[in-house]
């Protein structure tokens, strides 16, 4: 007897054309795939009229602490994500020192969640042990977050590490890789990652490469310095020997739309030259970041309290007001690139003002009778530096041009905000249902391959991503004529349509009535090479 038999689905099993068939599952693993399978089964599900795909992999997930609060991870399983890569952008809960713990909790509160009331971990290994105990509904695959490593060794210092400090950072990376991380992530626009020079990035990438790890990076700039930032990481990949994965590839700012073609040419040139490079993308022309990311790097130096003191100091405020409108004041210059009309406040934390959520900076400033630049500083102080914003940075045609590139994989980059970006609920069904099925930007088979097999193998996961005997039973059954995202910027928490069944580790996580409460995910740790 097997645990579960899926019958009469249209199976997307890889390079072959989809075909009608059955899948038998036992002990969380597919044990048979074929036509007219007839084993005795504890449960049988008829998939007549549905397509069956391997479970989807979110290449860029901010779920590092969410499972402590909501282990069902409802928005993720409802759209078919069964595996998530966590600790992207150099951001993560570990390693952390006791001296930096309070600051880290506050820094991650909006992007990752607060986690348990008391963090019992200090190392990545200890954190993963605690995460495992939450029994998440999806499988979580961790990176070593560079920003956390740097913070644990240098604090918030805005300088290069000494020789001994760099050795200490390499040891932390090695410990994280030994604990089961799949690579190292960088956030080179966020503090403290923005303080890292190229040699530091090469050194720590080389350490991850010793273990067979991947580099995942939010590059040093996605607007005026986009091409240079991509070229920097191509150099790092060549020098370190680590394969390169660029996070949420985009051209930020309508002023920079002309850079799309040279961006893709740069990537194609690197691929032709032997660089192992992929990237992820969410299928939207807007992104999410902290409001504090609008400030230049010098404003972030030190602790959160030191940063707040800077915002209260008149001489610093004058300098900040000038910097907000200066395209060269920081690596992104979000305020300059998007303008106050293109920046929407979506979360102000538990103690922030309640009347600004869902409104642009321009609208809020007008209602308060202040300049938008001054409003940025006011809101940061009112929210304890914790406000989140949506940045409308590109039109849909540029997003679709990037989606066509064969090196593109899918990453939601979704945070669990009070008023979230619609990608929290809609990334995978938007890519599959809209970009593939309805618009033909990529074929349906190609979309499923990018969402599953190619994503899993890119990370190094060999036990999932395909429908075949011996593979982990992570599966998604969807109605090809019904699957679509429904979340919008106005109603961002609408669940998708058409994803009827989601199987994680052989357990039914989603049925036609919604999440079942099954928690058969795991913390997947990379095994020694």
Same domain, 13 and 136: no
Same domain, 514 and 367: no
Same domain, 185 and 298: no
**Token pair listed for 131:** 């995460």
Looking at residue 363, what is its pLDDT? 96
pLDDT-derived band of residue 296, with 50, 70 and 90 as boundaries?
confident
Same domain, 69 and 120: yes
Any idea which residue has 């106050």 for tokens?
Answer: 340
Out of 34-48, 87-101, 194-208, 351-365, least confident range: 351-365
- 90-126 pLDDT per residue, tens: 999 999 999 899 989 988 987 898 999 999 999 999 9
Q: Domain for residue 489, yes or no?
A: no
Instruction: Name the nearest CA neighbour of 322 among 286, 372, 373.
Output: 373
- The percentage of the chain sitting over the pLDDT mark of 90, rounded to a whole number, equals 82
Instruction: Fill in the DSSP letter of residue 99.
Output: G
Spatial contact of 247 and 218, defined as CB atoms under 8 Å apart: yes
Local structure of 131: helix, strand or coil: helix
Instruction: Name the nearest CA neighbour of 281 among 249, 325, 312.
Output: 249
Local structure of 463: helix, strand or coil: coil
Give the number of C-alpha atoms closer than 13 A to the C-alpha of residue 417, restricted to the C-beta side.
28
Same domain, 26 and 165: no
Angle 167-149-232 (CA atoms, 0-180°, nearest 5)?
A: 85
pLDDT at 523 over 70: yes
DSSP track, 4-29: EEEEEEEE--SSSPPEEEEEEEETTE
Same domain, 130 and 273: yes
Phi-psi label, residue 460: left if phi above 0, alpha if psi -120 to 50, beta otherwise: left
- The percentage of the chain sitting over the pLDDT mark of 70, rounded to a whole number, equals 99
Looking at residue 340, what is its pLDDT? 94
pLDDT at 528 over 80: no
Looking at residue 417, what is its pLDDT? 84
Same domain, 505 and 372: no
pLDDT-derived band of residue 525, with 50, 70 and 90 as boundaries?
very high
Spatial contact of 47 and 91, defined as CB atoms under 8 Å apart: no
Looking at residue 370, what is its pLDDT? 95
Same domain, 433 and 505: no
Same domain, 406 and 509: no
Looking at residue 529, what is its pLDDT? 64
CATH number of the domain where residue 91 is located? 3.20.20.140
Looking at residue 453, what is its pLDDT? 98
For residue 440, with 0-12 CB atoms within 10 Å meaning exposed, 13-18 middle and 19 or more buried, which class applies?
Answer: exposed
What are the φ/ψ torsions at residue 335 (nearest 5 degrees)? -65, -45
| Domain final residue, candidates 373, 392, 411 | 392
Domain count, the chain: 3
For residue 466, with 0-12 CB atoms within 10 Å meaning exposed, 13-18 middle and 19 or more buried, which class applies?
Answer: buried
Arithmetic mean of pLDDT, 205-217? 98
Helices (H) and strands (E) in the chain, counts: 18, 22
Arithmetic mean of pLDDT, 514-522? 98
Arithmetic mean of pLDDT, 80-92? 98
Cα-Cα-Cα-Cα dihedral sign, residues 252, 258, 263, 266: negative
Choice between 328 and 184, residue whose per-residue pLDDT is larger: 184
Query: CA 252 from chain center: how many Å?
Result: 17
- 323-358 pLDDT per residue, tens: 888 877 776 788 988 899 999 998 888 888 988 988
- 369-406 pLDDT per residue, tens: 999 999 999 999 999 888 889 999 888 899 999 999 99
pLDDT-derived band of residue 288, with 50, 70 and 90 as boundaries?
confident
Same domain, 280 and 421: yes
Looking at residue 438, what is its pLDDT? 98
Instruction: Name the nearest CA neighbour of 398 among 263, 218, 260, 219.
Output: 260
**Residue 401 CB coordination number (10 Å):** 15
Looking at residue 119, what is its pLDDT? 97
**Residue 152 CB coordination number (10 Å):** 20
Q: Domain for residue 526, yes or no?
A: no
Q: Domain for residue 454, yes or no?
A: yes
What are the φ/ψ torsions at residue 232 (nearest 5 degrees)? -60, -45
Any idea which residue has 């920097």 for tokens?
Answer: 232
What are the φ/ψ torsions at residue 310 (nearest 5 degrees)? -60, -35
Q: Which domain holds residue 474?
A: 2-54+469-483+495-519
Same domain, 248 and 374: no
CATH number of the domain where residue 30 is located? 2.30.40.10
Query: CA 34 from chain center: how many Å?
Result: 35
pLDDT-derived band of residue 257, with 50, 70 and 90 as boundaries?
very high
Query: What's the chain's average pLDDT?
Result: 95
**Token pair listed for 373:** 């630049």
Instruction: Name the nearest CA neighbour of 76 among 89, 90, 60, 91.
Output: 60
Instruction: Fill in the DSSP letter of residue 396.
Output: H
Torsion, CA 94, CA 240, CA 410, CA 415, rounded to 10: 20
Local structure of 387: helix, strand or coil: coil
pLDDT at 516 over 70: yes
Q: Domain for residue 45, yes or no?
A: yes
Query: CA 485 from chain center: how many Å?
Result: 18
Spatial contact of 442 and 435, defined as CB atoms under 8 Å apart: yes
Q: Domain for residue 527, yes or no?
A: no
Q: Domain for residue 94, yes or no?
A: yes
**Residue 526 CB coordination number (10 Å):** 21
Q: Domain for residue 515, yes or no?
A: yes
Q: Domain for residue 280, yes or no?
A: yes
Any idea which residue has 């799949």 for tokens?
Answer: 182
For residue 489, with 0-12 CB atoms within 10 Å meaning exposed, 13-18 middle and 19 or more buried, which class applies?
Answer: middle
pLDDT at 428 over 70: yes
pLDDT at 59 over 90: yes
Arithmetic mean of pLDDT, 425-445? 98
**Token pair listed for 352:** 């922030």
Q: Where are the beta strands (DSSP E) in 188-271?
A: 214-218, 244-246
Same domain, 407 and 511: no
pLDDT at 455 over 80: yes
Angle 67-73-77 (CA atoms, 0-180°, nearest 5)?
A: 145
pLDDT-derived band of residue 276, with 50, 70 and 90 as boundaries?
very high
**Token pair listed for 74:** 């409802």
Rounded CA-CA distance 391/401 in Å is 19
DSSP track, 356-376: -TT-BHHHHHHHHTS-HHHHH
Arithmetic mean of pLDDT, 170-188? 98
């Amino acid at each position: 007897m097997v645990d579960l038999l899926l019958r009469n689905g249209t199976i997307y099993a890889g390079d072959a054309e989809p075909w009608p068939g059955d899948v038998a599952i036992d002990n969380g693993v597919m044990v048979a795939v074929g036509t007219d399978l007839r084993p005795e089964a504890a449960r049988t599900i008829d998939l007549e009229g549905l397509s069956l795909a391997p479970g989807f992999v979110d290449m860029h997930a901010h779920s590092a602490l969410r499972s402590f609060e909501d282990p069902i991870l409802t928005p993720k399983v409802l759209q078919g994500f069964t595996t998530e890569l966590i600790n992207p952008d150099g951001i993560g809960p570990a390693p952390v020192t006791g001296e930096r713990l309070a600051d880290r909790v506050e820094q991650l509160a909006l992007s990752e969640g607060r986690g348990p009331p008391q963090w019992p971990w200090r190392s990545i290994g200890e954190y993963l042990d605690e995460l495992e105990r939450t029994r998440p509904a999806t499988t979580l695959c961790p990176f070593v977050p560079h920003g956390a490593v740097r913070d644990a060794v240098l604090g918030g210092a805005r300088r290069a590490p000494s020789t001994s400090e760099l050795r200490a950072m390499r040891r932390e990376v090695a410990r994280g890789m030994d604990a089961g991380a799949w690579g190292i992530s960088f956030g080179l626009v966020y503090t403290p990652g923005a303080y890292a020079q190229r040699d530091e990035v090469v050194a720590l990438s080389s350490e991850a490469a010793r273990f067979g790890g991947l580099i995942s990076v939010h590059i040093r700039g996605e607007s005026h310095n986009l091409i240079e930032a991509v070229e920097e990481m191509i150099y790092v990949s060549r020098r370190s020997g680590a394969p390169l994965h660029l996070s949420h590839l985009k051209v930020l700012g309508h002023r920079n739309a002309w850079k799309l073609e040279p961006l893709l040419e740069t990537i194609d040139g690197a691929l032709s030259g032997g660089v192992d490079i992929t990237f992820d993308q969410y299928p939207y022309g807007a992104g999410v970041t902290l409001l504090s990311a609008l400030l230049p790097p010098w404003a972030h130096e030190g602790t959160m309290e030191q940063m707040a003191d800077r915002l209260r100091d008149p001489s610093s405020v004058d300098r900040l007001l000038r910097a907000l409108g200066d395209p060269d004041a920081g690596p992104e210059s979000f305020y300059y690139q998007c303008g106050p009309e293109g920046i929407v406040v979506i979360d102000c934390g538990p103690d922030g003002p309640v009347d600004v959520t869902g409104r642009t900076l321009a609208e809020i400033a007008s209602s308060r009778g202040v300049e938008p630049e001054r409003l940025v500083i006011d809101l940061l102080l009112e929210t304890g530096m914790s406000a989140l914003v949506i940045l409308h940075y590109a039109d849909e045609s540029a997003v679709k041009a990037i989606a066509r590139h064969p090196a593109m994989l899918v990453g939601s980059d979704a945070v669990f905000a009070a008023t979230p970006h619609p990608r929290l609920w809609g990334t995978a069904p938007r890519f599959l249902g809209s970009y593939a099925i309805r618009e033909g930007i990529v074929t349906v088979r190609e979309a499923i391959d990018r969402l599953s097999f190619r994503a899993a193998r890119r990370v190094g996961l060999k036990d999932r991503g395909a429908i075949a005997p011996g593979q982990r039973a992570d599966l998604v059954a969807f109605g090809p004529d019904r699957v679509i995202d429904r979340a919008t910027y106005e109603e961002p928490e609408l669940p998708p349509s058409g994803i009827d069944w989601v199987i994680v580790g052989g357990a039914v996580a989603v049925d036609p009535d919604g999440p079942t409460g099954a928690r058969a995910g795991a913390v997947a740790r990379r095994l020694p090479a």
